[in-house]
Amino acid sequence: EAQVTQNPRYLITVTGKKLTVTCSQNMNHEYMSWYRQDPGLGLRQIYYSMNVEVTDKGDVPEGYKVSRKEKRNFPLILESPSPNQTSLYFCASSSDGEQYFGPGTRLTVT
């Protein structure tokens, strides 16, 4: 089944403790992206990647890192999480513009 998976689905952590949210797709898509969703703000793009080893900033990249060492994986790294990064995070992949979204990761930073 074609899908985008994210792990973990839920995470509660403390300020400053490094964390990684994994994202994997099995559709051989070149494009992958991370978004955060906050009430009243819709989805905002954090980072995206057009291919392996090619990443670029979206609209809200501060406080986040990404890497694209393999085509199928696109992890999101928070080196020092802060409470304002509490949000619902979505990973997506695409081959032709239509994006396939993962189920989301709900992150709470206390």
Partner 1 sequence: SQQGEEDPQALSIQEGENATMNCSYKTSINNLQWYRQNSGRGLVHLILIRSNEREKHSGRLRVTLDTSKKSSSLLITASRAADTASYFCATDAIWDSWGKLQFGAGTQVVVTP
Interface residues with partner 1 (CB under 8 A) are 4, 31, 33, 35, 40-45, 48-50, 56, 58-59, 88, 90, 92, 94, 97-104, 106
3-state secondary structure 22-60: EEEECCCCCEEEEEEEECCCEEEEEEEEEECCEEEECCC
Sign for the CA dihedral angle at 36, 64, 8, 25 comes to positive
Kindly tell me which of 15 and 99 has the beta carbon lying closer to partner 1: 99
From the CB of 43, what's the least distance to partner 1, in Å? 4
Distance CA 102, CA 89 (A): 9
Question: Least CB distance from residue 45 to partner 1, whole Å?
Answer: 6
Residue whose CB is less far from partner 1, 38 or 79: 38
Kindly tell me which of 8 and 16 has the beta carbon lying closer to partner 1. 8
